[in-house]
Amino acid sequence: MTGYVFTYRVGGFGADIAPAHEEGVYLNYESAFNHLCALNAPLIKDNYYDLSYNGDVKEICKDIIKNVDPPLGMYSMEEIEIYE
């Protein structure tokens, strides 16, 4: 079974990407993607992007997923395999 989890880019020493277990595990891609957009929307609007130039939140989140590693202080999501 496929699931989706979230990661968070931290700016500390050691690991640069931390699992965001507190955000849960989703079995539905659309639900997971919508949650990712909700997590990143305030960060995108306040700190990182001029939405008039770079598109909307969903497009930016799609780019973040493609790049795997999110920008500093933002979330990404990864596909995982869930076993019984």
Classified as helix, coil or strand, 77 is strand
pLDDT computed for residue 39 by the predictor: 95
pTM: 0.84
pLDDT computed for residue 5 by the predictor: 97
Residue 72 sits at the vertex; the CA angle it makes with 69 and 74, to the nearest 5 degrees, is 75
Q: In which band, very low, low, confident or very high, does the pLDDT at 1 lie, cut at 50, 70 and 90?
A: very high
Phi, psi of 3 (to 5 degrees): -135, 175
pLDDT in tens, 53-67: 556 899 889 989 998
Do residues 26 and 3 touch, judged by C-beta distance below 8 A?
A: yes
* Terminal-to-terminal C-alpha distance of the chain: 9
pLDDT in tens, 6-54: 999 887 666 688 889 999 999 999 999 999 999 999 888 776 666 655 5
Q: Which of 43, 3, 45, 58 is nearest to 25 (CA)?
A: 3
